[in-house]
Amino acid sequence: MAEPLNLVFDLDGTLIDSAPQIHAAANIVFGNKGFQPLSQETVRGFVGNGLGVLVSRSMAHLGIEPDAALQCDLMQNFASIYEQAFDMTTLYPGVSTVLATLSEAGHRLAICTNKPLGATRAVLRHFDLSPLFPVVIGGDSLPQSKPDPAPLHAALKALGPGRALFIGDSEVDAETARAAEVPLALYSGGYRKAAAEALGARIIFHDHAALPRLIARLAPAL
């Protein structure tokens, strides 16, 4: 059997499609403060850099003057919804089976996301994925968040020695992989804006079912 790898996954846009849920949460949170609704396309464009950036960009889009107290309140309200609402969040097709296959093959799995840690653990529990991920690094687990390489390095350190691959979907993930000097596998169906071929991935996959085969093919070159 080939040597197991350390496989670190992004979450939103890579394993789950949460944009509709985040959009709904945004309109609840901002609507409760009397602000106009945001379009799903607008909110989707703000996903990936963490909750603080999502809220600050949404405030700017709505013409709200910077206000640290208001932003903190909005973030707390977002986090509360994130940990309870999953009705509009879905796993991408084949994700559960693929993750189980990779784990059964001996690979060590981790999550490295900019989603808050509490919300991340809640969504993993909801989809019965928690047992597959002994290591989970959220956007508030460290002072730094992606694209700083520190969260990815922390995930890999917790997994232990071994060759590594980072699996993500966006420009943020590509920048993180470059900064951490870890090869990237890119899911083409996520939340990126740039062309997939422009992000320097070692693997580009369009269907999660192909991932075990593609990883096995790439592994000797890692």
Tell which residue, 115, 113, 165, has the closest CA to residue 8. 165
- The residues pairing with 108 across neighbouring beta strands, listed in sequence order, are 6
Residues involved in catalysis = 10
Out of 63, 82, 101, pick the residue that ends a domain.
82
The answer to the question of residue 208 being in a domain is: yes
Question: Is residue 10 located within the same domain as residue 71?
Answer: no
Same domain (yes/no): 118, 129: yes
User: Would residue 127 count as lying in a domain?
Assistant: yes
pLDDT of residue 137: 98
Quick one: pLDDT at residue 55? 94
Q: Closest by alpha carbon to 91, among 201, 5, 189?
A: 189
Q: Give the C-alpha separation, 35 to 30, whole Å.
A: 5
CA 59 vs CA 23, 43, 83, 164: distances in Å: 14, 11, 22, 37
Residues 46 and 110 grouped into a single domain:
no
Strand partners, 204: 186
Q: Is residue 10 part of a domain?
A: yes
**Are 172 and 110 in a shared domain?**
yes
Q: Is residue 1 part of a domain?
A: no
Q: Which residues of the chain have pLDDT under 70?
A: 1-2
Q: List phi, psi (to 5°) of 48.
A: 125, -30
- Token pair belonging to 118: 């509490």
Q: Which domain holds residue 27?
A: 19-82
Give me the CATH number covering residue 126: 3.40.50.1000
C-alpha to C-alpha distance for 120 and 154, rounded to whole angstroms: 16
CATH number, domain containing residue 34? 1.10.150.240
pTM of this prediction exceeds 0.85: yes
The phi and psi torsions of 103 (rounded to 5 degrees) equal -65, -45
Based on the fold, state whether residues 166 and 120 are members of the same structural domain. Answer: yes
Instruction: Domain count for the chain, please give it.
Output: 2
Tokens of 202: 């070692």
Residue 83: its pLDDT value, please? 84
